[in-house]
Chains A and B, each alone.
Chain A
Amino acid sequence: MSTLTDTQLLSFVRPLLRASETAKVAAQGVIPIDTKEPASPEDAHERRRVLTVVTSSGFAASSEEGSVFIFKRKSTGELVVDSIVPITHDFQISVAQVAPVGGDGDGADKRPARQANKAPGQFLVTVKSPSRDREFFLLSSSPSLKDVLGECRRLKGSAEADLKAQAPWNKTHHLTTTHAWLEHYQHQLMNISLDNVLGGDNLDPTTTTPFDEHTVPDSLFHPPSLSVPLGKRLSPASAGLPPTSEGATADLILLRDDWIRKQLNRSSREMREKNAPGSSEIRLRICSYNVNGQNPPTREEAVKALGSWIRTQPPGRARADSLPPSETSTVLASETSSIDTKVSDTTPPATPKPPTRGATLPAPGKVDGTNVTVPDIVRVDSPTPIGHRASVTKDETEPDILVVGFQELDLSTEALLYREDPAREEAWTAAIIEALGQRSDGDQYIKVASKQLVGMLIILIATKSVRPRIRDVRTSSAAVGILGLMGNKGAVALRCRVDGTVLTFVSSHLAAFEEMHDKRNYDWREIVRKLVFVPSGIADVVFAAAAEAKTPIFATSPSAPTLTASVPGLETVVNTPAVDAKTGEGKPSGEEGKENPLFEPAIVAASAMPVAEHLRVMEKATIWDSDCVFWNVHLNYRIDLPDLDVRELLGDTSHPTDKHNISTLLKWDQLKNSQRSAKVFEGFEEAEIKFLPYVTPLFSRRCSLSVRTYRFEFGLKADKNGYDIKRKPAWTDRILHMCSDSANVKQTGYSSHPELLLSDHKPISATFEIEPDSMTNATQELLMKTLLHRLGDWILSDEQPNIKIDVQNVDFGSVDFNVPVLRTLRVKNVGKAPCGFRFVPPTEDSAVCEKWLRIEPQWGIILPGESQQVQLTVHVTADNAVHLNSGKRRLEDTLVLHALRGKDHFIAVGGSYKATCFANDLRWLSRLPCPIREYADPTSKKELLGEEQASNAPNEVMRLIAWLMSNALDENDLFLAPGDGDTIYRIREGLDTGEAFEDNLKPTDAKSVADVLVALLDSLPEPVIPWSVQAQCAEVADRDAAFELLGDLPAVNRNVWVSLTAFLHFLVEHAGVESTAKDRRLRALAAVFAPVLLRDNLSTSAVSPLGKRRFLLSFIHG
């Protein structure tokens, strides 16, 4: 290497640059070092540098700009950027001869520490750019130094002239904005390249131009398909499959790609962390609103009318925090507020520290008989002056990217039959941007793109500073309305790249009516199929530029598609025609947004982006070709419970934790059920819903100012909670998302906005934090080539894999019910080639492991000499404990770890399970001859009692009830407040071993005993009231009928039921003399126990939760 000439080195530098950049001249040398430290030969090797003058004549630069690049030469021969000094107007370069013996170097920059070890004839080169705070020293004897000096001076002259040409007011700005093209190299700079991340030392040092022989498969540049997880893409396998089977090669390729992706993701994350954590973070807000044909508010009203939904939690919300919660208030609006506040409380990073900024939250209303009054909207305080907010440095409530989806934007027949009216979209966009208001950092919002299909509209808005990071914006739509074509139902969608992460946003409107859920499921699949994204015009322009430039580095890129001929209007990505699934027509581009200052005036950013960035775009992408899909929807999915139940449950707050019974209702939510049965949205996640179903604005009608629409028919009635009596309350609007493993996406909020009064539907919003993959394509490609190089051509080779597992028998020791135990295996690759591995099921029809075991990861690739840790977790829960408790099965399993193209390795897994009375059949429990731990002990040889000898009720249940009966009747919060974990464990152990826990319990432990009782009953494989009779129970007319029904139960169940309800009855009687106190306790106990004693069976149709409560009440009522 050291024999290379400067000219040769220059030729190595060129491929590292982009097409718009030129390496002018190179000079090699070493970094000067401190004499105090002895220099070792390796050290000298480490200190080698190549100084290169690089110029750029890229799009963004008004004239030629120059920089001094300093490359480090790695042992592999590869050059990596070590430092960059931009040639600015104040740039300085000096070349000073170094005194051959001792003495101070008399270089321009005199530093004692840098004086010595200079051979005769050497020069100390100093380059610095004071305005950018950069400097660099190099010792060199290169003959090219003269040329370096010349180039630098020329470029400095150019920079000075450029500055002079600027208008006076622009000068300061100009000084910090030159050399934008260097951004591209930032990551290489902080990465210190591949060394740390990839362990570059393992690379073969003899390769001089490494990795070029490796062509990165195109697929690796695209996000992995989200629709089919890797586990499902691997070929079906089980023990005993010959390693030569056809699937093995395909599997290896899948594992290899997965491995490369994970490594890239890791590198990318490490780079970000090294840089400035969180600096590239994007706050995304997704909003969805069925506006029911309403016109947007005027600009003056926009903040008030839309602010809380579009931008932030209204300030009134947080204030509600400090207000004492009003016990008696059942006004939904205020209840919702407090729920919302809780949501933000549980998500610390996003906790909106609300700016004191006026918005529209109605103050808590009052209950006035059954009439609910909500304060008039006009009474809300006017906005606090902007100046106040300016003091907030970084406002966490301000989104960087906002995606708004509208449904029923335009209900006119014209819209349905002919075409959408762009004026409406413009008006809404203007209102939204107005509602977003001024940002605390002075940044501004601009519209990036939108897509409309009849009444559906999706708009992408971003701040000006984030906008350049959004690229390859594409739109699409799918109509699934009447005849599968009409656009009144369907979806509109946007797809874009934010840095290196592909995000897809879908906004859809699905068929109405409760019973239409099959049609909705079908429509959903149609939408998924029809949404196809092709590159929009702007990408074509870049393609053209790239094709002209014939960039040599990316010769492997896909051929450029046909270019769109004339592109004057293309500066507006806005409304660039997307291929419409229905008609193939799009909107003519460039129609809108030209004069309106709110819209982006031109894609300046497009010209600034590196040409190469766009070469790897997918020609056709589906929604699955994303790192993350966000789906905001007016779904029309309803709740599969009787209307009365839904309304009653929503108004009921007797459950100690599940206020308004939201979780009970969500169990029967059609969307959740369809997801569970994998009919729709399989793999999508939805944050926990803590808000109430939408409220029709009937009760607020009186106070709304301008809202009067044909949909408001006078005479409509609301139920006592304010819900329209004609429409069953439901969570019709939802926001779901699905991410690949490598996407760094975190949801931070999910709320409903009942305070918005425009439409008869309520809008919702969700907030996310995204860390986009910020690696440039060039870095990524280099990394991928490096990784491929490390893997070698092993997929095609016959090299036998050889792995060793550190333990053959994994002993989990003693395992308690419901307590996870973790062990780690180490799998080492002792062979010569990389080894793909996966855990396979022992037989074709079995799972990889028992249900109580979890393996992570289940597959991967291990490089020679490296190890992979595999975590095994045993967790025995109510779902899988039955056979373990009865002793029919032991806590034992055999895992088969298959090395692809090699052996099957067996791993024995086991532990000694401590049998528990939890999660057993009631009748079986009553036949136990002794405490379960003793029975399950293999040495005990105890037999189950015969049916006729069985006890009346399981001893364990009776012990708990007996203790509570004599110790806890005066405990106020019994069953309503949680107990203590350690005490609970002790009690459970007592039940299982037969040891007397009773004597050690204090009256204050009552809540813990109560907890154990509820948990024990809830863990039964089938509830105390078996599923087969629950429907009858829910329909009983009176107490006599209820008691009669009890006769049909198995004796054990009946006995448990009677003992328990008798105890609950006593408990209610002890609530005090006041009938309201008794009644409150009665309702609370019913709310807690009905879902336990009559647990739902989600695989059958719903039984009325209210009916269940009534049945229970008829036993515990006085």
Chain B
Amino acid sequence: MADAAASADKSIQVKLVLLGEAAVGKSSVVLRFVSNEFQANKEPTIGAAFLTQKCRLEDRVLRYEIWDTAGQERFHSLAPMYYRNAQAAVVVYDVTKAASLDKAKSWVKELQRQANPHIVIALAGNKVDLVNNAAASSSSTTEETSEDEPDDATATPAELAQAASGDGLRAVARDEAQAYATEAGLLFFETSAKTGEGIVELFTEIAKKIPIEHILASTRGGGANRPGGAASGSNAQGNVNLDANNQTPKNACNC
């Protein structure tokens, strides 16, 4: 008990928000990171969910406080309430849906204009498992996989059909997204919430880039009322050791 309290004191709280078009897999990315799980047929998020996950980076413990927001345009006006004061943002798009990158770009623009000026933004091209299959496997395997487990609940029937065909699946070229990210000063990863690919790396690189000294200074400075502060009773399922080059967060050591 005393230990937990002590470590809670030492841990650095990082508020992170997930943004992006509806059905790109934001909730699945968080679920993979926090619980190392994947749920097919996940219902769309109508609202905003709060999750936490502790991570170890070198000698520091970070506690991610994550807001997973609704992607529907109807609720766009509420987004500022969730990204304000955030130290990090993950803007997610779907690699099989070109329009979702456009939406991601507009989110990035909004964040750069309105969010905390020191915010670390990462761009994540999700559902890369769909295109990996198409590239690496024979067409028959692809078909099988796609039929057996419709990979993502939020994928539209059209997308499923496209996935099944195994043809012209990728709608956003990696290079194109990478070039945009570099130009806009973003971290960039292609991820798959389904397989876990790229997820830990994504959060590790964010952790590394967070200006921790800056956060600590502002906390000491009198951030008693800092949003996201005073968090006890974590609901984290396990901690992630970001140092370990380990793709299975469940096995990570506790801090």
Enumerate chain A interface residues (CB-CB to B < 8 A): 238-246, 798, 800, 805, 808, 842-843, 894, 896-897, 902-906, 908
Q: Which residues of B contact A894 (CB under 8 A)?
A: 74-75, 77-78
Question: Can you name 22 A-B pairs with beta carbons within 8 Å?
Answer: A239-B48, A239-B78, A240-B48, A240-B78, A240-B82, A241-B227, A242-B65, A242-B231, A243-B50, A244-B232, A245-B230, A798-B233, A798-B235, A800-B235, A842-B81, A896-B47, A902-B49, A902-B50, A904-B47, A904-B49, A906-B78, A908-B75
Partner of A905, one of B46, B50, B82, B233: B46
CB of A861, distance to nearest CB on chain B (Å)? 19
Partner of B230, one of A244, A903, A904: A244
Q: Which residues of B contact A897 (CB under 8 A)?
A: 47
CB of A23, distance to nearest CB on chain B (Å)? 46
- Is the CB–CB distance between A239 and B81 below 8 Å? yes
Contact with A along B47-60 (1 / 0, CB 8 A): 11110100000000
Q: Add 9 more A-B contacts to A906-B47, A906-B78, A908-B75 (CB < 8 A).
A: A238-B81, A239-B78, A242-B50, A243-B50, A244-B50, A246-B230, A798-B233, A894-B74, A908-B74
CB of B104, distance to nearest CB on chain A (Å)? 21
CB of B191, distance to nearest CB on chain A (Å)? 23
- Is the CB–CB distance between B82 and A903 below 8 Å? no
- Is the CB–CB distance between A242 and B227 below 8 Å? yes
Q: Which residues of B contact A843 (CB under 8 A)?
A: 81
Q: How many A-B residue pairs have CB under 8 A?
A: 65
- Is the CB–CB distance between B46 and A906 below 8 Å? yes
Enumerate chain B interface residues (CB-CB to A < 8 A): 46-50, 52, 65, 67, 70, 74-75, 77-78, 81-82, 84, 227-228, 230-235
With contacts A239-B48, A240-B84, A798-B235 taken as known, whether A906 is within 8 angstroms of B75 at the C-beta atoms is yes
CB of A808, distance to nearest CB on chain B (Å)? 5
Q: Which residues of A contact B50 (CB under 8 A)?
A: 242-244, 902-903
* Nearest chain A residue, comparing its CB with the CB of B67: A240
* Nearest chain A residue, comparing its CB with the CB of B45: A903
- Is the CB–CB distance between B70 and A244 below 8 Å? no
- Is the CB–CB distance between B232 and A842 below 8 Å? no
Q: Which residues of A contact B81 (CB under 8 A)?
A: 238-240, 842-843
Q: Which residues of B contact A902 (CB under 8 A)?
A: 49-50
Q: Which residues of A contact B67 (CB under 8 A)?
A: 240
- Is the CB–CB distance between A903 and B233 below 8 Å? no
- Is the CB–CB distance between A244 and B48 below 8 Å? no
- Is the CB–CB distance between B230 and A842 below 8 Å? no
- Is the CB–CB distance between B231 and A842 below 8 Å? no
- Is the CB–CB distance between A244 and B46 below 8 Å? no
Q: Which residues of B contact A246 (CB under 8 A)?
A: 230
- In the assembled complex, the Cα of A897 lies from the Cα of B70 at a distance in Å of 14
- In the assembled complex, the Cα of A798 lies from the Cα of B233 at a distance in Å of 7
- In the assembled complex, the Cα of A902 lies from the Cα of B48 at a distance in Å of 9
Q: Which residues of B contact A240 (CB under 8 A)?
A: 48, 67, 78, 81-82, 84, 227
- In the assembled complex, the Cα of A800 lies from the Cα of B50 at a distance in Å of 11
Q: Which residues of B contact A808 (CB under 8 A)?
A: 46
- Is the CB–CB distance between B49 and A903 below 8 Å? yes
- Is the CB–CB distance between A244 and B231 below 8 Å? yes
* Nearest chain A residue, comparing its CB with the CB of B68: A903
- In the assembled complex, the Cα of A800 lies from the Cα of B35 at a distance in Å of 14
- Is the CB–CB distance between B78 and A842 below 8 Å? yes
Q: Which residues of A contact B78 (CB under 8 A)?
A: 239-240, 842, 894, 896, 906
With contacts A242-B65, A244-B232, A245-B230 taken as known, whether A903 is within 8 angstroms of B48 at the C-beta atoms is yes
CB of A1103, distance to nearest CB on chain B (Å)? 42
Q: Which residues of B contact A243 (CB under 8 A)?
A: 50
- Is the CB–CB distance between B231 and A905 below 8 Å? no
- In the assembled complex, the Cα of A328 lies from the Cα of B228 at a distance in Å of 74
- In the assembled complex, the Cα of A1008 lies from the Cα of B55 at a distance in Å of 73
Which of B65, B75, B234 has the most CB atoms of chain A within a 10 A radius of its CB? B75
* Nearest chain A residue, comparing its CB with the CB of B74: A908
- Is the CB–CB distance between A239 and B82 below 8 Å? yes
Closest 4 CB pairs of A and B: A240-B81, A905-B47, A239-B81, A244-B231
* Nearest chain B residue, comparing its CB with the CB of A246: B230
* Nearest chain B residue, comparing its CB with the CB of A796: B233
- In the assembled complex, the Cα of A902 lies from the Cα of B81 at a distance in Å of 16
Q: Which residues of B contact A906 (CB under 8 A)?
A: 46-48, 70, 74-75, 78
Q: Which residues of A contact B46 (CB under 8 A)?
A: 805, 808, 905-906
Q: Which residues of A contact B227 (CB under 8 A)?
A: 240-242
- In the assembled complex, the Cα of A908 lies from the Cα of B232 at a distance in Å of 32
- In the assembled complex, the Cα of A896 lies from the Cα of B82 at a distance in Å of 12
Q: Which residues of B contact A245 (CB under 8 A)?
A: 230-231
* Nearest chain A residue, comparing its CB with the CB of B52: A244
CB of B65, distance to nearest CB on chain A (Å)? 6
* Nearest chain A residue, comparing its CB with the CB of B231: A244
CB of A807, distance to nearest CB on chain B (Å)? 10
Q: Which residues of B contact A908 (CB under 8 A)?
A: 74-75
* Nearest chain B residue, comparing its CB with the CB of A844: B81
CB of A246, distance to nearest CB on chain B (Å)? 5
Q: Which residues of A contact B75 (CB under 8 A)?
A: 894, 906, 908
CB of B111, distance to nearest CB on chain A (Å)? 15
- In the assembled complex, the Cα of A239 lies from the Cα of B50 at a distance in Å of 12
* Nearest chain A residue, comparing its CB with the CB of B234: A244
- Is the CB–CB distance between B47 and A244 below 8 Å? no
Q: Which residues of A contact B65 (CB under 8 A)?
A: 242
* Nearest chain A residue, comparing its CB with the CB of B83: A240
* Nearest chain B residue, comparing its CB with the CB of A804: B43
- In the assembled complex, the Cα of A867 lies from the Cα of B214 at a distance in Å of 46
Q: Which residues of B contact A238 (CB under 8 A)?
A: 81
- In the assembled complex, the Cα of A243 lies from the Cα of B231 at a distance in Å of 9
Q: Which residues of B contact A842 (CB under 8 A)?
A: 77-78, 81
* Nearest chain B residue, comparing its CB with the CB of A899: B47
- In the assembled complex, the Cα of A241 lies from the Cα of B67 at a distance in Å of 10
* Nearest chain A residue, comparing its CB with the CB of B48: A904
CB of B59, distance to nearest CB on chain A (Å)? 25
CB of A275, distance to nearest CB on chain B (Å)? 45
- In the assembled complex, the Cα of A239 lies from the Cα of B80 at a distance in Å of 10
- In the assembled complex, the Cα of A150 lies from the Cα of B227 at a distance in Å of 73
- In the assembled complex, the Cα of A238 lies from the Cα of B81 at a distance in Å of 8
* Nearest chain B residue, comparing its CB with the CB of A799: B235
CB of A205, distance to nearest CB on chain B (Å)? 31
Q: Which residues of A contact B48 (CB under 8 A)?
A: 239-240, 903-904, 906
CB of B32, distance to nearest CB on chain A (Å)? 18
Q: Which residues of A contact B77 (CB under 8 A)?
A: 842, 894
- In the assembled complex, the Cα of A243 lies from the Cα of B228 at a distance in Å of 9
Q: Which residues of A contact B52 (CB under 8 A)?
A: 244
- In the assembled complex, the Cα of A805 lies from the Cα of B84 at a distance in Å of 27
CB of B53, distance to nearest CB on chain A (Å)? 13
CB of A1009, distance to nearest CB on chain B (Å)? 43
Which of A238, A243, A246, A904 has the most CB atoms of chain B within a 10 A radius of its CB? A904
Q: Which residues of A contact B234 (CB under 8 A)?
A: 244
CB of B37, distance to nearest CB on chain A (Å)? 14
CB of B74, distance to nearest CB on chain A (Å)? 5
CB of B220, distance to nearest CB on chain A (Å)? 20
- In the assembled complex, the Cα of A843 lies from the Cα of B79 at a distance in Å of 10
Q: Which residues of B contact A241 (CB under 8 A)?
A: 227
* Nearest chain B residue, comparing its CB with the CB of A843: B81
Which of B46, B77, B82, B228 has the most CB atoms of chain A within a 10 A radius of its CB? B46
- In the assembled complex, the Cα of A902 lies from the Cα of B230 at a distance in Å of 16
- In the assembled complex, the Cα of A903 lies from the Cα of B78 at a distance in Å of 14
CB of A458, distance to nearest CB on chain B (Å)? 47
- Is the CB–CB distance between B228 and A242 below 8 Å? yes
Q: Which residues of B contact A800 (CB under 8 A)?
A: 235
Q: Which residues of A contact B232 (CB under 8 A)?
A: 244
Which of B47, B49, B50, B231 has the most CB atoms of chain A within a 10 A radius of its CB? B47
- In the assembled complex, the Cα of A238 lies from the Cα of B84 at a distance in Å of 13
- In the assembled complex, the Cα of A42 lies from the Cα of B52 at a distance in Å of 49
* Nearest chain A residue, comparing its CB with the CB of B228: A242
- In the assembled complex, the Cα of A246 lies from the Cα of B46 at a distance in Å of 25
- In the assembled complex, the Cα of A241 lies from the Cα of B78 at a distance in Å of 12
Q: Which residues of B contact A904 (CB under 8 A)?
A: 47-49
* Nearest chain B residue, comparing its CB with the CB of A249: B233
